[in-house]
Each structure stands twice: as structure tokens, then as C-alpha cells.
């Protein structure tokens, strides 16, 4: 569920809350959730967080010893900060998560300033990887990433990359991180609705005008979502444990059975590219 707007919201929180703090301890509760590259020392303890970056759906915490903590939240990952600088050790009333740690807590980082950073991940798909900062950009899946919708000059590159997959559905292409980076199931459906493109349509049958509208629609829905703190379907929270509000404004995602905001036709749910797919049968005719 965490897609680009959610990961960016978490990044902003971590930038504010943990950059400048020194790591005092690491508690790994689930070994597969915390991986250490063989090229680095065995622990980040003693290092200071100097930057919080993001590439597509990946979070990167740079440390002052030329290593980085690379984090992928996958579907149910959370990075939640608790401590004196947030709420005196307690948690705010609008937090979705209760007392931490809980049973989904996989890794706990203790930082100076009386802070604790919890990596929670119900389904254990996510991971944190400690590696040399110089090696982050060389990770295979980062090298392959396509342009992000929020990049102002990404359209041409998107068009070039999507054209390499003419026989696949446009929805599958939008979900392919090597075609365009940062889109997941929610924003794929929302962008397709905004651009009035049927999710099952083959890439080869989508006009250049529609491709441009799709890229721009993806940018628009992501900017709106960012302004609302992202989407909370069931699990997502930001670095302070708060949910995002975007789904209150969604046009199709999880709205099957409800009327289309443009034409009133009942929103349908089907399966495209192996994923639940929401669309308006009238606005998004094939």
C-alpha cells in the first residue's frame, strides 16, 4: 500500500524527527526484516543519521559513516517514531497505532534525544538493509527504475519505456516500476480514471495524447495525496502514526458499487494484471 505519496510523507516525518540523531541501539526481533550487507560493519550503532532520502517507494536514511539504511515498506511496513520530542513518550490521540512495540514490530532503533524508531510490518514482506551509501544507487532494482510522475521532465522517458511493452495492459505497465516509478494499485486506478483510460487496454492501443494525460494524471493524484498525508487503506501510517486522508477523495479505488463522480455510472471492480481494479465502465470504455 505505501506508494510514492505515502513513502514521501514518511520521509518528511523522518527528516524532521530523526535526522541529526545518533543511533544508540538496534533490536532486531525478526531477522529477515533486517539485512546487513557484507561490505559494512555489523551494526549502525554509534552512527548519526544525516539525511532522509527517497527513490520511488524506497526510503534511504544516510548515516555519517558512509553507510545507509535502505527501507522498503512493501505492503504493511511502518516507520513510526516515538519519544520525548514527539509526545513525551506517549502517543497522540489521532495515532492509528497504539502502544509500541506491538506484535508486528520487527526492528527497534534507539536514538539519542530519547527517541525510538519502530519498523513494524505485519506481513514481513518489507525490509531494512544496511549497506554502503555508494552501493545504494547500484542496487539492481533502483538502477532499473523509470521516471517518477512528480519529475517535471519525466514524460518523454515514460513514453519511451512504456512503448517497450506494447502487448501488456496499460495498468500492468503503470505498475511496472521500470516503466514509471512510484505508482501502486491505488494511484494506478485513480490515474486511469482521471485520464479516462480503460485499465485493460493494451499499451499499443493507447494514444500518445492519452499517455501524456495518464502521466499528468498520476502526477496530479500524487500531489493531491501528498497534501493529504497519503492514503490509509488499512495499515499505512506516517512517521508519527497518523493516517492519511486521500481515500476520502478517491474517485474509484474501493468505490465499487458507488456512483462515478463524473457520470453517475456504478463503479465496477474487476481483476487486471492480477490485481483488484476499480473503474467506471462508462468513462473508461475500451
Nearest CB to DNA, comparing residues 83 and 147: 147
Q: How far is the CB of 179 from DNA (least distance, A)?
A: 10
Catalytic residue set: 2-3, 57, 275
Nearest CB to DNA, comparing residues 102 and 156: 102
Nearest CB to DNA, comparing residues 7 and 17: 7
Cis ω before 7 (30° cut-off from 0): no
Determine the straight-line distance between the first and last CA of the chain, rounded to whole angstroms. 27
Residues 236, 76: Cα–Cα separation, whole Å: 7
Nearest CB to DNA, comparing residues 111 and 267: 267
CA dist 255 → 67, 186, 248, 260, 278 (Å)? 43, 11, 10, 9, 7
Q: How far is the CB of 160 from DNA (least distance, A)?
A: 14
Contacts of 226 (CB under 8 A, 6+ apart): 5, 8, 9
Nearest CB to DNA, comparing residues 215 and 236: 236
Give a three-class secondary structure readout of 71-131. EECCCCEEEEEEEHHHHCCCCCCCECCCCCCCCCEEEEEEECCCEEEEEEECCCCCEEEEE
Residues 198, 49: Cα–Cα separation, whole Å: 44
Q: Which three cell numbers stand for residue 77?
A: 511496513
Which helix (H) or strand (E) covers residue 67, if one does?
Answer: strand 67-72
Q: How far is the CB of 62 from DNA (least distance, A)?
A: 20
Please give the backbone phi and psi of residue 76, each rounded to the nearest 5 degrees, phi first: -125, 15
**Angle, CA 59 vertex, CA 57 and CA 61 arms, to 5°:** 170
DSSP 8-state class, residue 63: E
Nearest CB to DNA, comparing residues 277 and 284: 277
Q: Which residues bind DNA (CB under 7 A)?
A: 1-3, 32, 56-58, 72, 74-76, 103-104, 122-125, 140-141, 164-169, 172, 175, 177, 184-186, 203, 233, 269, 271, 273-276
Amino acid at each position: 500500500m505505501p506508494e510514492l505519496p505515502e513513502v514521501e510523507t514518511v520521509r518528511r516525518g523522518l527528516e524532521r524527527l530523526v535526522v541529526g540523531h545518533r543511533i544508540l541501539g538496534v533490536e532486531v526481533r525478526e531477522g529477515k526484516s533486517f539485512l546487513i550487507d557484507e561490505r559494512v560493519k555489523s551494526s549502525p550503532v554509534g552512527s548519526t543519521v544525516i539525511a532522509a532520502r527517497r527513490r520511488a517507494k524506497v526510503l534511504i536514511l544516510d548515516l555519517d559513516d558512509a553507510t545507509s539504511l535502505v527501507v522498503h515498506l512493501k505492503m504493511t511496513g511502518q516507520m513510526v517514531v516515538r519519544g520525548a520530542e514527539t509526545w513525551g513518550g506517549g502517543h497522540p490521540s489521532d495515532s492509528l497505532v497504539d502502544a509500541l512495540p506491538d506484535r508486528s514490530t520487527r526492528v527497534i532503533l534507539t536514538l539519542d534525544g530519547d527517541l525510538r524508531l519502530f519498523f513494524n510490518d505485519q506481513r514481513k514482506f518489507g525490509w531494512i538493509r544496511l549497506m554502503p551509501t555508494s552501493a545504494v544507487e547500484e542496487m539492481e532494482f533502483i538502477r532499473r527504475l523509470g521516471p517518477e510522475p512528480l519529475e517535471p521532465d519525466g514524460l518523454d522517458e515514460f513514453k519511451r519505456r512504456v512503448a517497450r511493452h506494447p502487448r501488456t495492459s496499460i495498468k500492468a505497465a503503470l505498475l511496472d516500476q521500470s516503466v514509471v516509478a512510484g505508482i501502486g494499485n491505488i494511484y494506478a486506478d485513480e490515474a486511469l480514471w482521471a485520464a479516462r483510460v480503460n485499465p485493460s487496454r493494451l499499451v499499443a492501443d493507447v494514444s500518445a495524447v492519452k499517455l501524456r494525460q495518464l502521466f499528468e494524471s498520476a502526477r496530479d493524484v500524487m500531489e493531491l495525496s501528498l497534501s493529504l498525508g497519503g492514503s490509509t487503506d488499512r495499515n499505512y501510517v506516517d512517521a508519527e502514526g497518523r493516517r492519511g486522508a486521500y481515500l476520502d477523495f478517491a474517485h474509484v479505488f474501493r468505490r465499487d458499487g458507488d456512483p462515478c463522480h463524473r457520470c453517475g455510472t456504478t463503479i465496477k471492480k474487476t481483476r487486471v494484471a492480477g490485481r483488484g481494479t476499480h473503474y467506471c465502465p462508462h468513462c473508461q470504455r475500451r
